[in-house]
């Protein structure tokens, strides 16, 4: 069974008091050439206090497709050709064969304690928006007998950056737009409906790492509720990546890959005039040519530089002026889902207006910001995160109801207008 509770912001603690659910769970185990670890994994899954209804071994191109079975549980093995590290693609393949309402992702070298599944799905069973991450601890399986399960006496140090992040955010209760970095794919779980709403992992990720952070970013940006289930413990064979020697080249490649597709400023480092923008601004300025030009130019002058502009008109004069600068075609689905803010603009904005709207949305988890000047609504900024959650709750609530209950609406007064010339010549020269 599943319970559906709409929670405000990231307040997963608001489901306290609801009865624990026992959903049908598919465990997806990602594997590559780790045949010697599969017996330990099968034993660990067979011991779960909440027995999965299905286990799918997702083999990423091992030379010999592994034999794998969990006694008493439906077990499938799916495999793909070896074309590099493609954890994203093979996990998606496994999900296409899944039957459970909840997906629990593990790696073959990350063995769960007996209560892991029960504990990692706790909040997922109560709130459909939850993306949960368990606690990944570290040990060396070489110290253990084949069927021996790890324990505290065998523990290696946990990575301080992750431990400190969970402590600082109270197990992600106080998560923000950077907290996707604390969701680890080897100990991740969510409802299948949330996974499908996000279109799964991005299969453009080939090579070690990043696909889980990208998935978690898109989940947060679509209104997911992040939870660290601290008591859901799984043991990884070996230290964290940072403890495995010189990993600079691998991590640098991962960072560059993430910067291309995640417009969050600290992830990207600088605005990138590429395909994915942080803010998507669509100009809906009615009125004379002069007014539309002023509106578009005001967007080009914004302090917030990671901004894409769409001008859905066929006025040849406008297209000549802004060729190569703005677009006419609709935003792609990928652009629409990765941008943190969608802006509809009706008139010229002061240079700091977009920055103020973005800060309100990302800093306070607000669903919509109205930008008003001298009583006139100049623009409306929508949180992609709030719109995403509203989309998934559309079967029960209107969008405005989800915004009101889960995020709230804010109004920013932009102050008095600045006079920048009656003609476009005067307007352009005023920006020097």
Q: What 3 state SS string does 117-184 have?
A: HHHHCCCCCCCCCEEEEEEEEEECHHHCCCCCCCCHHHCCCCCHHHHHHHHHCCCCCCCCCCHHHHCC
Tell me what pLDDT residue 241 has: 65
Q: How many other CB atoms are there within 10 angstroms of residue 360's CB atom?
A: 20
Q: Give the whole-angstrom CA distance, residue 398 versus residue 292.
A: 32
Q: Give the whole-angstrom CA distance, residue 293 versus residue 208.
A: 46
Q: What 3 state SS string does the chain have?
A: CCCCCCCCCCCHHHHCCCCCCCCCEEEEEEECCCHHHHHHHHHHHHCCCCCCCEEEEEECCCCCCCCCCCCCCEEEEEECCCCCCCHHHHHHHHHHCCCCCEEEEEECCEEECCCHHHHHCCCCCCCCCEEEEEEEEEECHHHCCCCCCCCHHHCCCCCHHHHHHHHHCCCCCCCCCCHHHHCCCCEEEEEHHHHHHCCCCCCCCCCCCCHHHHHHHHHHHCCCEEEEEEEEEEEEECCCHHHCCCCHHHHHHHHHHHHHHCCCHHHHCCCCCCCCCCEEEEECCCCCHHHHHHHHHHHHCCCCCCEEEECCCCCHHHHHHHCCCCECCCCCHHHHHHCCEEEEECCCCCCCHHHHHHHHHHHHCCCEEEEEECCEEEEEEEEHHHHHHHHHCCCCCCHHHHHHHHHCEEEEECCCCCCCCCCHHHHHHCCC
Q: Give the whole-angstrom CA distance, residue 35 versus residue 65.
A: 9
Instruction: Please state, in angstroms and as integers, the Cα–Cα distance from residue 64 to each residue in 55, 67, 181, following that order.
Output: 19, 9, 33
End-to-end CA distance of the chain: 63
Q: Give the whole-angstrom CA distance, residue 34 versus residue 178.
A: 33
User: Phi and psi dihedrals of 131, rounded to 5?
Assistant: -115, 115
Tokens at 238, concatenated = 């070996």
User: What digits encode the pLDDT tens for the residues 250-259?
Assistant: 788 888 899 9
Render each residue's pLDDT in the chain as its tens digit; 432 residues.
799 999 999 999 999 989 999 999 999 999 988 999 999 999 999 999 999 999 999 999 899 999 999 999 999 999 989 888 899 999 999 999 999 999 999 999 999 999 999 999 999 999 999 999 999 999 998 888 877 788 777 889 999 999 999 999 999 999 999 999 999 999 999 999 999 999 999 999 887 778 999 999 999 999 999 999 999 999 999 887 655 545 677 788 888 899 999 999 999 999 887 889 999 999 998 888 889 999 999 999 999 999 999 998 878 888 888 888 999 999 999 999 999 999 999 999 999 999 999 999 999 999 999 999 999 999 999 999 999 999 999 999 999 999 999 999 999 999 888 877 678 888 888 766
φ/ψ region of 408 (left if φ > 0, alpha if ψ in -120 to 50, else beta) reads left
Answer yes or no: are the C-beta atoms of 56 and 76 closer than 8 Å. yes
User: What digits encode the pLDDT tens for the residues 174-200?
Assistant: 999 999 999 999 999 999 999 999 999
Tell me what pLDDT residue 432 has: 63
């Amino acid at each position: 069974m599943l319970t559906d509770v709409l929670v405000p912001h990231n307040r997963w603690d608001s489901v306290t008091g609801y009865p624990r659910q026992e959903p049908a769970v598919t465990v997806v185990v990602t594997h590559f050439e780790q045949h010697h670890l599969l017996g330990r994994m099968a034993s660990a899954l067979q011991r779960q206090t909440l027995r999965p209804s299905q286990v799918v071994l997702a083999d990423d191109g091992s030379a010999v497709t592994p034999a794998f079975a969990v006694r008493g549980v439906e077990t499938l093995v799916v495999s793909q050709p070896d074309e590099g590290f493609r954890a994203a693609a093979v996990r998606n393949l496994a999900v296409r064969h899944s039957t459970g309402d909840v997906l629990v992702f593990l790696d073959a070298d990350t063995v769960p304690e007996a209560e892991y599944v029960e504990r990692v799905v706790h909040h997922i069973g109560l709130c459909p928006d939850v993306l949960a991450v368990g606690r990944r601890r570290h040990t060396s399986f070489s110290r253990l007998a084949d069927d021996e399960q790890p324990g505290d006496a065998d523990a290696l140090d946990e990575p301080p950056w992750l431990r400190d992040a969970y402590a600082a955010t109270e197990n992600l209760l106080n998560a923000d737009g950077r907290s996707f970095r604390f969701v680890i794919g080897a100990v991740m779980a969510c409802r299948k409906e949330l996974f499908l709403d996000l279109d799964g992992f991005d299969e453009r990720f080939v090579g070690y790492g990043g696909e889980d952070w990208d998935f978690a970013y898109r989940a947060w940006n679509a209104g997911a509720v992040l939870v660290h289930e601290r008591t859901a413990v799984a043991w990884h064979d070996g230290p964290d990546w940072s403890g495995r020697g010189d990993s600079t080249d691998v991590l640098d490649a991962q960072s560059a890959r993430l910067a291309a597709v995640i417009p969050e400023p600290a992830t990207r480092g600088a605005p990138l005039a590429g395909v994915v923008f942080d803010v998507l601004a669509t100009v809906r300025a009615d009125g004379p040519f002069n007014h539309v030009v002023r509106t578009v130019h005001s967007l080009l002058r914004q302090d917030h530089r990671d901004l894409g502009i769409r001008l859905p008109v066929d006025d040849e004069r406008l297209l000549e002026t802004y060729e190569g600068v703005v677009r006419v075609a609709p935003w792609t689905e990928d652009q629409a889902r990765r941008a943190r803010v969608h802006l509809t603009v009706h008139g010229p904005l002061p240079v700091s207006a977009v920055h103020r709207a973005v800060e309100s949305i990302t800093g306070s988890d607000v669903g919509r910001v109205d930008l008003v000047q001298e009583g006139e609504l100049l623009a409306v900024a929508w949180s992609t995160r709030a719109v995403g959650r509203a989309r998934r709750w559309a079967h029960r609530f209107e969008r405005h109801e989800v915004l009101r209950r889960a995020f709230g609406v804010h109004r920013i007064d932009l102050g008095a207008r600045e006079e920048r010339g009656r003609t476009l010549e005067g307007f352009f020269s005023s920006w020097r």
